[in-house]
Amino acid sequence: MTDDKADSCPETIAAAFGVASDPAFGAVAPPLYLSTTYEFAGFEQPRAYDYGRAGNPTRDLLAEAIAKLEGGAGAVITASGMAAVDLLVSRLPAGAQVVAPHDCYGGTIRLLKARAELGQIGLRLVDQADAGAFASALRERPRLVLVETPSNPLMRIVDIRSICTMAHEVQAEVAVDNTFLSPAIQQPLALGADYVIHSTTKYLNGHSDVIGGAVVAADAVQVEALRHWANVVGSTGAPFDAWLTLRGLRTLFPRMEWQQANAMAVAHYLESHAAVAKVHYPGLPSHAGHAVASRQQRGFGAMLSFELVGGIEAVKCFIAAVGCFTLAESLGGVESLVAHPATMTHADMGAEARALAGISDNLLRLSVGIEAEQDLIVGLGQGLAACGG
Ligand SMILES: *Cc1c(COP(=O)(O)O)cnc(C)c1O
């Protein structure tokens, strides 16, 4: 299904791609097709769709919208962000080398390590901001380089263009997980990446009520190969999930703009507070990745983390007293969340690996939502006051 918004500005694609394109009844909101199977027009006359695992009109509309927003040739919608990562990894030839960031999403590390332990891939985890370490990882001739920027939970920034240039010199493909920013803020394909991965669970859906993923490819041949593979392994997403995610996508741009304005205000507030030792937000000039982020992003996103002056006791007091922020994992929804990486999102890593990655016990991560800035500041202030600030 295509429509007249196909060549519009990104904001228009998000708001209106597929709107009023229903040939049957002129429905303004795109219809939800739940049917698993499709009638043939006649003997040996299949239509555009035959079976729901292979293709679904609702899912394809979402795929096309996300592909356009990322500037790709097409996309495959998967049942989760992890299924999106695995769509790329599981079709590598046996023993292929994969390079991933040492501080990438915990679920991604778990998946890569599991596949490496089964002998299916070789794995090198490196600090991609360290050009020397990255160059040495490339000497092992990887097939695939995974990138995450900003990283979780310290918001480290990696220069996508320079990673792609170096990787392409050794014929490695580059996939950027763009979950933390969304195409409203960062478009990795324009910076040279071959693939973009999303957990659409986060900003693209934006309402914390769907688990989903997407892989966008720059090249049409790769889109076809990925679509084929998603059908082979059966990892395509459900139509209702696609429909909800498309509805969430409608407001992506205003949500991101509002959320990152709130995040900037929160970052400034935290930076000036006596109970806070350090704020990790790429929008602050004090952040090591500020210059690169300013160059490759159209804003600084709505994820940040900060360290309390006190230790784990201060963390407990903060969490008990904080207002407006709900203690929960995940991110990217309209509601503000606070997480304690050491005991929640990054608990599996173990204390030693956390220390190496710079994830201290007094670190808290915020996903800043669309509430009123004033309420967010008041809520944080309550938490900080309780931990002796
Ligand atoms: C959440 C997340 C994933 C995994 O996505 P799911 O939808 O939870 O499977 C992958 N990468 C990043 C950066 C994430 O935040």
pLDDT digits (tens, 9 = 90+) for 271-284: 999 999 999 999 99
Closest atom of ligand 1 to CA, residue 82: 9
Residues 270, 250 contacting (CB under 8 angstroms)? no
Question: Which domain range does residue 232 map to?
Answer: 10-249
Within a domain: 65: yes
From CA 302, how far away is CA 156, in angstroms rounded?
A: 14
The answer to whether the beta carbons of residues 175 and 325 sit under 8 Å apart is: no
Q: Nearest-CA neighbor of 64 among 12, 10, 17, 31?
A: 17
**Rg of the chain on CA atoms, in Å:** 21
Q: Are 302 and 179 in contact (CB under 8 A)?
A: no
pLDDT tens-digit profile of 256-266?
999 999 999 99
What is this structure's pTM? 0.97
Question: Tens digits of per-residue pLDDT, 133-142?
Answer: 999 999 999 9
Residue 306: per-residue pLDDT: 98
Q: What is the pLDDT of residue 103?
A: 87
Instruction: Give yes or no: residues 227 and 257 share one domain.
Output: no
Note whether 150 and 101 are within 8 A (CB). no
Average pLDDT, the chain: 96
DSSP per-residue string spanning 310-332:
S-HHHHHHHHHH--S-EE-S---
User: Which pLDDT belongs to residue 200?
Assistant: 98
Nearest CA to ligand 1 atom 2: 199
With cut-offs at 50, 70 and 90, classify the pLDDT of residue 1.
very low
Looking at the fold, whether 35 and 103 belong to one and the same domain comes out as: yes
Asked whether residue 212 is assigned to any structural domain, the reply reads yes
Residue 32's contacts (CB-CB under 8 Å, 6 or more residues apart) are 58, 239, 240, 243
Q: For residue 247, with 0-12 CB atoms within 10 Å meaning exposed, 13-18 middle and 19 or more buried, which class applies?
A: middle
Taking the centre of ligand 1 as the mean of its atom positions, its distance from the CA of residue 44, in whole angstroms, is 41
Q: Indicate the pairing of strand 303-308 with strand 363-367.
A: antiparallel
Provide mean pLDDT across the span 100-119.
Answer: 94
198 alpha carbon – ligand 1 mean position (Å)? 7
Has residue 232 been placed in a domain?
yes
% of the chain surpassing 70 pLDDT: 98
Would 147 be classed as within a structural domain? yes
Active site residues: 53, 105, 177, 202
Going by pLDDT thresholds of 50, 70 and 90, the confidence category of residue 6 is low
Tell me whether residue 67 is in a domain.
yes
Q: How many structural domains is the chain composed of?
A: 2
Cα–Cα distance for residue pair 301/297, rounded to 1 Å: 9
Is there a single domain that holds both residue 46 and residue 187? yes
Residue 296 to residue 55: CA distance in whole angstroms: 34
Quick one: DSSP state of residue 85?
H
CATH number at residue 144: 3.40.640.10
The yes-or-no verdict on residue 3 having pLDDT over 60 is no
Least confident among 1-5, 8-12, 43-47: 1-5
pLDDT per residue over 180-239, tens digit each?
999 999 999 999 999 999 999 999 999 999 999 999 999 999 999 999 999 999 999 999
Cβ–ligand 1 distance for 213 under 6 Å, the answer yes
Ligand 1 atom closest to the Cα of residue 331 is 15
